[in-house]
Structure 1
Amino acid sequence: MNKLYRHSILVLLLVSLLAVYGCSSGNGNNNAASGADASAPGTAEPAPENLASELRFPLAQQVPTLDPHLSLNTNVYVTLNIFEGLFAFDANFNPVPMLAESYDLSEDGKTYTFHLRQGVKFHNGKEMKAEDVAASLNRWKSLTGRAQASLGESEFTIKDDYTVGLALSEPRNDIISQLSHVLNNAAILPKEVVDAAGPDGVKEYIGTGPFKLVEWKQDQYVHVAKFDDYQSVDTPASGLSGKKEAYLQDIYFDIVTDSATRFSSFLAGTYDYVDVTLDNLPQVEGLEGVKVNKNLGSDINLVFNKKSPLFSNIKYREAVAAVLDADEILLGTVNSPDLYRLNPSYMYPENTTWYSEAGKENYNQKNPDKAKQLLQEAGYSGQEVSLLTTKELGGSFYNATIVLQKELEAIGVKTKLDINDFATLLKKRADPNAWDIYVGLFTMPSTPSQLLYLNPTYGFAEDAKLAELTKQLTAASTTEEIKAANDALQQYEWEYLAAVKIGDTYSQSATRDKLSGLTTLAGYPNLANTKLSQ
């Protein structure tokens, strides 16, 4: 009879020691990653009678959907406060049970049994049970590429009212991390809501979180309110996990796409939290009652379309990797040497389990002569390279891409910029006939198996050896096995070049001292324990 391993040895079985996002503590900001409190150090806790009941929080983008299984980027700012999953990441990106009470894993690493918390209520008053969990997670899996890659044909099944099973065809050490990820979040919704979902998403936005949806006014705001029947866990609050208590009665997520308007509204007192550009930094530095936060946020990667006529040829990918000047691209993106760092690994150095320097000899080569030689060997004859980008998201994608364009044209590569709104960019990126190179900022994954560009559906990395090395990585269990498998995968990635790592970026925000308890993770806010003094 196989032994069952309880959640208490999660780290040993799932090897989910994950990235600590950020070199500095005590900060939270847009596009940053921190589990720290955004309140000023030493600020006294406001008395309950001195607390404001309403907070307005500015969003830099439109909200295309509130369906948590489809949510990316700005809409996650909202959905993570409405919906919850079986697990959530703490401040160090370790998965912690939320709607799950515990789980068992069979000795062969293939069978998961999830034990659900009892008495948890949805916003419509219904108690959450196994039928809701199974329906939600099977839909999530069908819509999420990284989940499909991990779960294969496996389905979540109902064992009893408070128990859900998952039987895999092979052992995987990343399942709990997949269930905790902030993007395309594995949120639990009522079964009837899942069953009624159409191709554009669910029709009702009902979760179990500390806030419930009141009104979504397109292009203006999303209004959520305190859910009085919220059932919190009693573990310490950390990141997106642990105890949650809604001190705010109402939150308005205002859609303010113009950065100058967001910042001027912050200065005018409309907002108590705002992203800060370098141009705006002098206006908030030293401002009484305001602190500036800097946090490690996204990493920048150049992704090749491996089905394009040119970049299906490894020589062309090698040529691009050879010419890249990471410092130049990073500086062109964030405009300050203080807001980036070089990093040859697909994980942050803080993530000691998964950080690797294998293949670093191919990083940041700055070698145009080598690049020209590789182009000659490949037979380049002036074909145009399409660079897919957008000016949205603060211009970061576009700024990185125009620096890349300059570096490519310096070695004789003819290029064109294909500039789109972000929604169109996403559609084109999924089309193998629509682009050649895409440069973007990525929310750092918690495990290498979550790297989008290693997935055949993202940049079309259909390579047998890459798939086999990824499989060996997710099946590893001991520290030694993990290191060997991780080094092998990263070494091969630097040879195969599904993507090229450029580096890691920081961003800045400003918060008022009267705002306390706000935490962010990978830039996404947990407003559950946030207090605002009047």
Structure 2
Amino acid sequence: MNHRSLFRRLLLAAAAALPFALSVGDAAAQAALPSDRVLRVVPHADLRTLDPVAVSVTITRMHGLMIYETLFAWDSQLRPQPQMVESTTTSSDGLTWRFTLREGLRFHDGQPVTTRDVIASLRRWMARDVVGNHLGARVTALEATDARSFEMRLSRPHGFVTYALGSAVGQIPAIMRAEDAETDPSRPITTTIGSGPFRFNRDLWLSGQRVVYDRNPDYVPRREPADGLAGGRVVRVDRVEWQIMPDAATAAAALQTGEIDIWEQPALDLVPVLSRRRDIQVDRLNTISTQAMLRPNSLFPPFNDPRARLALAYATDQAEAMAGGWGDERWWRRCEAYFVCGAPFGTEAGAEGYARPNLDRARELLREAGYNGERIVFITSTDIAPIGRMAEVAAASLRRIGMNIDLQVNDWGTVITRQPRRDPPDQGGWNLFVTFASGPTMQHPLTNIGTNMACDGRNWSGWPCDEEAERLRNAVLDAPEGPERIRLLDALHRRLAETQPYRVLGQVDQPYARRSSVRGMLNAPVMVFWNIEKSAR
């Protein structure tokens, strides 16, 4: 479809978008707020899980950063800066860390944030998250000194303590009330009482249509300027509404008519039309590309055998997957680096042989792994269009090497609730899924959730186990910056290329679109909504 025809289609869709946009709001509540005090956003997915420590999906992380805070926060250069913490001291041997919380921290129910809440929250996070697991394995004690100060003691030094405590990837170390954090970490909490700059408006929440956040009038931001996730989280609107619009034409029309202010992930085929409008700006959210991946379940045959996982690399063509998912090559590139091409750890060592498919080698590896045509449950969703399209391309590739693919298409909420299940594939579990993860998540050996191959079963859904890969990953994290770290990084990447915890499908630069009346967007690992100002229409 040419751009002129596409533009006409969007104009026609605008009429359909208007009733939808108006129906999703609470009319009385909206009427009480001036238009420039309500920020309306179309996010990439609906919010299904409210607990940012229970799941690692991006939409829940975005929700978590609205209502919770962390002890530290990453700035726009991914450097950790104090957030809830006022001061930090470290012993000369690097084994004892002392933290003091800043004054004025209060939960949305009025309770003060204390070190009891912090310690319970950190323990819950360390039991759930990849980064938390790694730090927690070295923590010998977490003890409160008083209501605002606590001590962390380590068994051996860790070079990324504050980086980990400010993690904005995977399951974030959100500080919750102790009564919430002390519950079973394997069960997602449903309460939403944080201490962050927004409050979750449960009364206006309507699953599948809208999620609403109100400015927290009692929140006291830091004094530093906002920088990434760090600095002062100053809220400049009274309400943020996430309006769920799965149809791209509807979202594009709503953006053009001003019914929404921000579209987090516009469809790439609509970007040229949006870019030509003076009242709309299209830009990148951050400077590190997003990574696409095909994740196998390593608990069950055939992918419990690394040879079957390696067959995925030989069977799939990154160009096919990325063109299917993202279209125009301006927005994507081939890349075999687990830690993201163009990023500081972006080596492709050992993966050179997977740049083009080798179907015969893939079939041979499947035979060696004992695969004999058993059904492969491949779960996916078309709610996030590129994921659904990449899954279809990957499924076709795997059928070419003789795999019996059962492509099961559900809504994205169902997919992400199935991902953590360890049931056999024929009992509600799964064998494969396609997803993508932010560059800031995947660019570092500490935070890349997919390359954690620890054999304790606490790593990310898929649960690959390889002791040598874990030994090398820990060695990279322990090594000082310099030639030895580079050598160890290459060795780690070669091992990952052999064992394939997931198949890298390439990387993409996903733009966002906003009305020109919106200012103050921050360069951050995920989209956040403090610091944003909106002019009246």
TM over 0.5, shorter chain: yes
Q: Quick one: structure 1 residues 146 and 225, their matched pair in 2 at CA, closer, same or farther if it must change by over 3 Å?
A: same
Please tell me the residue identity of whatever aligns with 1:77.
M
Q: Quick one: structure 1 residues 464 and 427, their matched pair in 2 at CA, closer, same or farther if it must change by over 3 Å?
A: same
Q: Quick one: structure 1 residues 303 and 282, their matched pair in 2 at CA, closer, same or farther if it must change by over 3 Å?
A: closer
Farther-moved stretch of structure 1 (157-166 vs 420-429): 420-429
Please tell me the residue identity of whatever aligns with 1:347.
F
Instruction: Give CA deviations for 1:58-88 in whole Å, capped at 9, x if unaligned.
Output: 2343222333323532233333122110011
Deviation at 1:299, TM superposition (A): 0.5
Farther-moved stretch of structure 1 (78-87 vs 312-321): 312-321
Contact 1:304 1:499 in 2 (8 A): yes
Contact 1:78 1:253 in 2 (8 A): no
Instruction: Give CA deviations for 1:426-472 in whole Å, capped at 9, x if unaligned.
Output: 34433262233332212332521322232444322222212211222
TM alignment of 1:160-239, pairs within 5 A: 160-182=146-168, 183-195=170-182, 201-202=188-189, 204-215=191-202, 216-219=204-207, 220-239=209-228
Q: Quick one: structure 1 residues 135 and 414, their matched pair in 2 at CA, closer, same or farther if it must change by over 3 Å?
A: closer
Contact 2:377 2:432 in 1 (8 A): yes
Please tell me the residue identity of whatever aligns with 1:258.
D
Deviation at 1:107, TM superposition (A): 4.2
Q: Scaled by the length of structure 1, what TM-score is found? A: 0.82
Farther-moved stretch of structure 1 (374-383 vs 460-469): 374-383
Farther-moved stretch of structure 1 (130-139 vs 325-334): 130-139
Contact 1:321 1:362 in 2 (8 A): no
Q: Quick one: structure 1 residues 313 and 188, their matched pair in 2 at CA, closer, same or farther if it must change by over 3 Å?
A: closer
TM alignment of 1:132-531, pairs within 5 A: 132-152=117-137, 154=139, 156-182=142-168, 183-195=170-182, 201-202=188-189, 204-215=191-202, 216-219=204-207, 220-274=209-263, 275-294=265-284, 297-352=289-344, 354-378=345-369, 380-392=371-383, 394-429=384-419, 430-431=421-422, 433-434=424-425, 435-444=430-439, 445=441, 447-453=444-450, 454-455=452-453, 456=457, 457=459, 458-522=461-525, 524-531=526-533
* Bigger share in helix: 2
Contact 1:516 1:531 in 2 (8 A): yes
Once residues 282 and 250 of structure 2 are traced to their aligned partners in structure 1, the CA distance between those partners, rounded to angstroms, is: 18
Please tell me the residue identity of whatever aligns with 2:363.
K
Q: Quick one: structure 1 residues 268 and 245, their matched pair in 2 at CA, closer, same or farther if it must change by over 3 Å?
A: same
Q: Gaps (5+ residues) in structure 2?
A: 1-33
Instruction: Answer yes or no: is 1:104 the counterpart of 2:127.
Output: no
Q: Quick one: structure 1 residues 371 and 193, their matched pair in 2 at CA, closer, same or farther if it must change by over 3 Å?
A: closer
Q: Quick one: structure 1 residues 102 and 346, their matched pair in 2 at CA, closer, same or farther if it must change by over 3 Å?
A: farther
Q: Scaled by the length of structure 2, what TM-score is found? A: 0.82
Q: Quick one: structure 1 residues 76 and 256, their matched pair in 2 at CA, closer, same or farther if it must change by over 3 Å?
A: farther
- Match of 1:120? 105
Deviation at 1:376, TM superposition (A): 4.8
- Match of 2:40? 56
Instruction: Give CA deviations for 1:377-400 in whole Å, capped at 9, x if unaligned.
Output: 5555433433232223x2222211
Higher relative contact order (CA 8 A, sep 6+): 1
Instruction: Give CA deviations for 1:152-191 in whole Å, capped at 9, x if unaligned.
Output: 3845321222222222333333333332223422122333
Please tell me the residue identity of whatever aligns with 2:322.
L
Contact 1:324 1:366 in 2 (8 A): yes
Instruction: Give CA deviations for 1:22-69 in whole Å, capped at 9, x if unaligned.
Output: xxxxxxxxxxxxxxxxxxxxxxxxxxxx99222222234322233332
Once residues 93 and 109 of structure 1 are traced to their aligned partners in structure 2, the CA distance between those partners, rounded to angstroms, is: 22
Contact 2:282 2:511 in 1 (8 A): yes
Deviation at 1:332, TM superposition (A): 0.9
Contact 2:255 2:261 in 1 (8 A): yes
Please tell me the residue identity of whatever aligns with 2:432.
I
Farther-moved stretch of structure 1 (68-77 vs 194-203): 194-203
Equivalent position SS for 2:509: strand
Equivalent position SS for 1:303: strand
Farther-moved stretch of structure 1 (173-182 vs 328-337): 173-182
Once residues 110 and 500 of structure 1 are traced to their aligned partners in structure 2, the CA distance between those partners, rounded to angstroms, is: 37
Equivalent position SS for 1:80: helix
Equivalent position SS for 1:302: strand
Instruction: Give CA deviations for 1:299-348 in whole Å, capped at 9, x if unaligned.
Output: 01222322322222333233322232111111111112111112221123
Deviation at 1:108, TM superposition (A): 4.1
Once residues 310 and 194 of structure 1 are traced to their aligned partners in structure 2, the CA distance between those partners, rounded to angstroms, is: 37
Deviation at 1:121, TM superposition (A): 3.0
Contact 1:69 1:187 in 2 (8 A): yes
Contact 1:321 1:365 in 2 (8 A): no
Deviation at 1:492, TM superposition (A): 0.7
* Bigger share in strand: 1
Equivalenced residue count is: 482
- Match of 1:69? 53
Once residues 411 and 504 of structure 1 are traced to their aligned partners in structure 2, the CA distance between those partners, rounded to angstroms, is: 24
Please tell me the residue identity of whatever aligns with 1:399.
R
Contact 1:384 1:414 in 2 (8 A): yes
Q: Quick one: structure 1 residues 208 and 404, their matched pair in 2 at CA, closer, same or farther if it must change by over 3 Å?
A: same
Q: Gaps (5+ residues) in structure 1?
A: 1-49
